Structure 1
Amino acid sequence: MSISQFSTTKEILRFEGADKAAYWRKFALLLSLAVIIATMGLLRNSGAVVIAAMLVAPLMTPILGIASSIVMGWVGRALVLMLTVWIAAGCSIVISWLIVWIADAPSTLLLPDEVLSRSNPGAEDMVVALAAGIAGAYVQIRKSEISLLPGAAIGVSLVPPLAAAGILLYFGEQEAAYEATLLFATNFGAIIFSASLVYIILGPRERLFRKAHRGVKFTLGMTVTLAFLSVVLVQLLAATYLRYIETGTEAVLAQRTKEWAGDTPVEIIRVDVHARTRIAEIWVLLDLPSDAQYKIGSLDDFLPVAMKEHPFREAAREVLGEDYKVVVRYQTRIAWLLDLATETIDVAPSVDTVRED
């Protein structure tokens, strides 16, 4: 290994510099600011603000420090940095919870999509984290590519899942908060693993295997990392499989609903199938003929006879089975077709038919 490579390795290992206390004070300040920005961005459903939090967050450096410590066989330092990162993660969740508590957000508030998107991790998130770890480690070794570091920081999500976990805990969504924390754990383990591989390929592999005890410690560190990743990956694959099942079932249920409606114009707004809780939810808009607004009666009176004769329950049971419960949310609207060449008013075609034409 060249002198320059060895110097770079030392910089990666001892990233705090001479004054460690000053570094960790700066680390705490930047992390707090990143959590505040991320929490505000998540609550406002602003992706741009969340990206700003990713750029401010300082978590990437100590995580890469864990990878370099494992490669060099410094197990003690790797454990200290791991503990530090997870303490910082716990503090981030608490800070996010406190921000929402101080803001006194109403408990009936609908959770923004930016929050919910970080509570549904899958195997693809591990792929992203592995790639980001490679990019981050490569930039550290090849200083000439330092301009790529912001991209690596944006590519991997470290602080936003922690902020989302705090928000979800405030709203009593413990399971979703766990999923958000799982996303952070995915990124944490994947970055360590992929960065370690980069350091071995581009860095001190000759120095590492020169002494037997370094090789043993490296093997131990990588074994623990792989075991951690395996536990996380099992959960991610289970979540990905459930998501695949849910997506396919939602498509079938939407199609079956249209078939059940027959000639009655029905617009499917949203279909959600939750395989774990065995609950499905369907949102539809039902078009009523123009003369329905002049009739006095219940909404049930306006429904076509064919729809009453074949209850939706039967159609849904064919798709979902008997162990599901279905929440149906439908609205009615008056719709008619105007012939501009004449004064004819007819039944409006379905939305899908108009779009296809």
Structure 2
Amino acid sequence: MAHRFDLEEGKEDELETIEYISKNVEFKGANLWILIFAIFVASVGLNVNSTAVIIGAMLISPLMGPIMGIGMAAGINDFELLKRSIRNLGVAVFISILTSTIYFAITPISAADSELLARTEPTVWDVLIALFGGLAGIIAGSRKEKSNAIPGVAIATALMPPLCTAGYGLATGNLLYFVGAFYLFFINSVFISLSTYLIVRFMKYPKKDFMDPKRETQVKTYITIITLMTIIPSVYLAYGIVKKALWNEQARNFVEVQIQYPNTQVLAAEYHYHVPPKTIEVSLIGDQLPPQELANLRKKLIGFGLEETTLNFLQSGNGTDLNLLRNDILKDLYERNELLIQDKDKKIALLENEILADINARQLSVEIAEEARINHPNLKKFTFGRTLMSDLEKNKVDTLLVAYAQFSPKPTKTESKKLTEWIKVRTKSDTIALILY
């Protein structure tokens, strides 16, 4: 059974893997232009809220190279590769944010849709995706036969969209978006590098040899310091993300389980983790809960692991707060109903115009038939009406007046033309179709 999990099977020569990762570290020439164009594509995808476009941009993005290079360099004590990877990653980040900032500064669409908002704050799932995605990426990179795992890791860990969102934050002056998105990119990058480092050490890649023992000790010290300076803050930040996720889950569970009353409903609940103290704000409608019941609910917070959490209520019947809440609800309902009424009024007006036109056409048909008989004694039957004509070549539909006339004997061409022209004048129409029988 153990052989199924053996990483040595199908493993590429270690020096070849190191060279492969080292080549993908550089950002210059074609690699840099590919990054710029991929950033533009990802920015457009975020701007129009298109998941497919964003995935396509991540597939062509070369951002994974220097991030894996940092983990590889730390694992084999290659200080030169570490410096080169950090320098190239800095260039890639700067170019990416600059490109996306330029795009979002000139685009006419400035609203932040769901794809943008999803990259403004990291979650515990982002940390796990970056860690396990990085493990998959370095293992795939160490194989003789390269698979599509590395592009898949680039998609799963979503390195590029956070940089584009950071550019959006700068372009729109929203520093919270910038900080949150860059924070997400930083967390993803560190944990991909960390997973690369762990696999490199686990698979015992050969470390760089130094002729001078003092130089070797110095390089190891530098790499250790840089690694610790990067990993320790990231682990602390990841721990904070986990704590926030757990608190949010406990807070939602508390509201769903404890605030259940037959004549009182939860209208909305907001959860504020970063606002000291941590706060749950619940808006209630229906019968007011007495002060004693509110106090009991606050005591129950401890049982849900929410000891340092404040529970605030906004209830219907609370004077100004109630009026504000009721006014907001009524205003929202009024605005929605107003839009529905306007839409229905337009449809009704359109239908009324169509019906009126048909009624007028029927009345006019009788009048014109009597007048036409005076000018054309041989006319036996006559009618006309509005119909729809489909133009198959131009792919459009127009309204057309169609007249039906029966003569005995059949009219001459001159008489038919005269009748047609007279109907045009009588109905004030530019075009009319005359069917003779």
Structure-1-length-normalised TM-score: 0.69
Specify the code of the residue in structure 2 equivalent to 1:161: P
Separation (CA, whole Å) in 2 of partners of 1:150 and 1:316 = 53
Q: Which residue in 2 is equivalent to 1:60? A: 64
| Distance verdict in 2 for CA 1:81–1:43, change over 3 Å | same
What are the equivalent positions in structure 2 for 1:1-357 lying under 5 Å apart? 4-15=13-24, 24-106=28-110, 109=111, 111-202=112-203, 204-205=205-206, 214=216, 217-218=219-220, 220-255=222-257, 257-259=259-261, 262-263=262-263, 266=265, 268=267, 271-277=269-275, 306-307=287-288, 310=290, 318=298, 321=310, 331=329
Is contact 2:12-2:142 (8 Å) kept?
Answer: no
The higher-RCO structure (CA 8 Å, 6+ apart) is 1
Q: Give percent identity, aligned residues only.
A: 23
User: Alignment partner of 2:263: what SS?
Assistant: coil
Cα shift at 1:317: 8.4
CA change 1:30–1:282 in 2 (3 A) is: farther
User: Structure 2: any 5+ residue segments left out of the alignment?
Assistant: 1-7, 302-308, 316-320, 334-437
- Structure 1 pair 220/315, CA: closer, same or farther in 2 (3 Å)? same
Measure, in 2, the Cα distance between the counterparts of 1:222 and 1:44: 43
C-alpha distance in structure 2 between counterparts of 1:190 and 1:211, whole Å: 32
**Are the structure 2 counterparts of residues 167 and 244 from structure 1 closer, same or farther at C-alpha, using a change threshold of 3 Å?**
same
Is the Cα–Cα contact under 8 Å of residues 72 and 218 in structure 1 kept in the other structure?
no
Inter-partner Cα distance in structure 1 for 2:100 and 2:313:
35
How many Å apart are 1:214 and its aligned residue? 4.6
Conserved? CA contact 2:131–2:195, under 8 Å: yes
TM-aligned CA deviation for residue 149 of structure 1: 2.5
Aligned equivalents of 2:46 and 2:161: distance in 1?
Answer: 8
Contact 1:121-1:182 at 8 Å conserved across structures: yes
Offset at residue 101 of structure 1 (A):
1.3
User: Higher Cα Rg: structure 1 or 2?
Assistant: 2
Q: Aligned AA for 2:178?
A: A
Q: Size of the alignment, in residue pairs?
A: 300
Give yes or no for contact 1:70–1:196 (8 Å, CA) kept in 2. Answer: yes
Q: Which ranges of structure 1 fall in alignment gaps of 5 or more residues?
A: 287-303, 334-357
Shift of 1:68: 2.7
Structure 1 residue identity aligned to 2:174: E
Say what the alpha-carbon RMSD is for the aligned residues.
3.8
Q: Say if 2:279 and 2:310, in contact at 8 Å, map to a contact too.
A: no
CA distance in 2: counterparts of 1:190 and 1:36, whole angstroms:
26
Specify whether residues 67 and 236 from structure 1 end up closer, same or farther in structure 2 by C-alpha distance, changes over 3 A only: closer
Aligned mates of 2:313, 2:248 — CA distance in 1: 13
Could you report, residue by residue, the CA deviation over 1:143-164 in whole angstroms, capped at 9, with x for unpaired residues? 3142322222222221111111
Distance, in Å, in 1 between the alignment partners of 2:14 and 2:274 is 51
Aligned amino acid, residue 133 of structure 2: A
Provide TM-score, normalisation by structure 2: 0.58
Q: C-alpha separation between the residues in 1 aligned to 2:296 and 2:31?
A: 53
- Check whether the contact 2:282–2:313 (CA below 8 A) recurs between aligned residues: no
Q: 2:42 touches 2:53 (CA, 8 Å); kept in 1?
A: yes
SS of 1:198's partner is helix
Provide Cα deviations, 1:85-127, integer angstroms capped at 9, x if missing partner.
Answer: 1232133122222211101444xx3x32222222221344233
What one-letter code is carried by the residue in structure 2 that aligns with 1:117? Answer: A
CA offsets 1:34-81 (integer angstroms, 9 cap, x no match): 212222222223322222221111011122223333334331331232
User: Against the structure 1 CA distance between its residues 137 and 28, is the aligned structure 2 distance closer, same or farther, given a 3 Å change threshold?
Assistant: same
In structure 1, how many angstroms separate the alpha carbons of the residues matched to 2:115 and 2:76?
A: 39
Secondary structure at 1:177 match in 2: helix
Structure 2 CA distance for aligned equivalents of residues 211 and 197 of structure 1 = 26
Q: Classify the secondary structure of the residue corresponding to 1:271.
A: strand
Q: Go from structure 1 to structure 2 and tell me whether the alpha carbon gap of 1:5 and 1:255 turns closer, same or farther (over 3 Å shift).
A: closer
Specify the SS of the correspondent of 1:184: helix
